[in-house]
A and B are shown apart, each in its own frame.
Chain A
Amino acid sequence: DAGITQSPRHKVTETGTPVTLRCHQTENHRYMYWYRQDPGHGLRLIHYSYGVKDTDKGEVSDGYSVSRSKTEDFLLTLESATSSQTSVYFCAISEVIAGDDEQFFGPGTRLTVL
């Protein structure tokens, strides 16, 4: 499982409240990613990081911010949650195996915004 954990695993919150999801990895991977998964859309990239304090936007970054103050943790924040952000959120890392990039996923966080 590439040593990836996510917390919380489930969360129910109300519209307008801030929410932070945490992704933690234990193997010093440089690249980390946040995706959301919704029916009919597959996985869509929210933000990614290529090192401590180095982050960039993905295709669905509006309403989300991220921070990476140390290698092992990548935080995703919803500043003011909306019902459209109800989704399953996956964190991932990419790792070079035998010279090739491979991506491995955390267990996911199911977020419900009421």
Chain B
Amino acid sequence: ELKVEQNPLFLSMQEGKNYTIYCNYSTTSDRLYWYRQDPGKSLESLFVLLSNGAVKQEGRLMASLDTKARLSTLHITAAVHDLSATYFCAVLVSTGNQFYFGTGTSLTVIP
């Protein structure tokens, strides 16, 4: 059974602090996706990581992928309130073009 696990599930952090969200997956996949979801809204694509060692950055968010360890991280630098949301990782299984999602990390940034 394919598993995608995120931790922590809930994260409360102060503005200005740094933190990392982890995504572990149990299948062979070299494509890892990160999404953001605001309360009551749909999912918005943040990053697509396509190969081992891939690193992408957008503003205060940086995502990386280690396919050998089956681990992706989403690093938050100097958090601001606008980053409060739920973040999901997902892996693509090429058979059937299926995406498998983690349970999500609910991030709250406190002023």
Contacts and interface: CB of A to CB of B under 8 A. Distances in A.
Given A100-B48, A103-B45, A108-B42, A45 B31 contact: no
Interface stretch (A36-44, A61-69, A79-87): A36-44
Residue among A43, A45, A94 with the highest chain B CB neighbour number at 10 A: A43
Interface string B1-41: 00010100100000000000000000000010100000001
A55 to B, nearest CB: 11
B111 interface: no
Q: How large is the interface on B (under 10, 10 to 19, 20 to 34, 35 or more residues)?
A: 20 to 34
A56 to B, nearest CB: 6
A63 B78 CA distance: 45
A65 B31 CA distance: 29
A106 B98 contact: no
Residue among B45, B48, B88, B99 with the highest chain A CB neighbour number at 10 A: B99
Interface stretch (B55-63, B65-73, B101-109): B101-109
B31 A101 contact: yes
A90 B102 CA distance: 15
Contact of A100 (B9, B50, B97): B50
A106 B42 CA distance: 7
Nearest to B50: A100
Nearest to B94: A101
Contact of B97 (A101, A104, A106, A107): A101
Given A42-B104, A101-B31, A101-B92, A58 B45 contact: no
Contacts of A35: 101
Contacts of A108: 41-42
Contacts of B98: 45, 48, 58
Contacts of B31: 100-101
B33 A48 contact: no
Given A31-B97, A48-B96, A40 B103 contact: yes
Given A43-B88, A105-B42, 15 more contacts: A31-B97, A40-B9, A41-B103, A42-B6, A42-B104, A43-B43, A59-B100, A90-B42, A94-B99, A100-B31, A100-B50, A101-B92, A102-B45, A107-B41, A108-B41
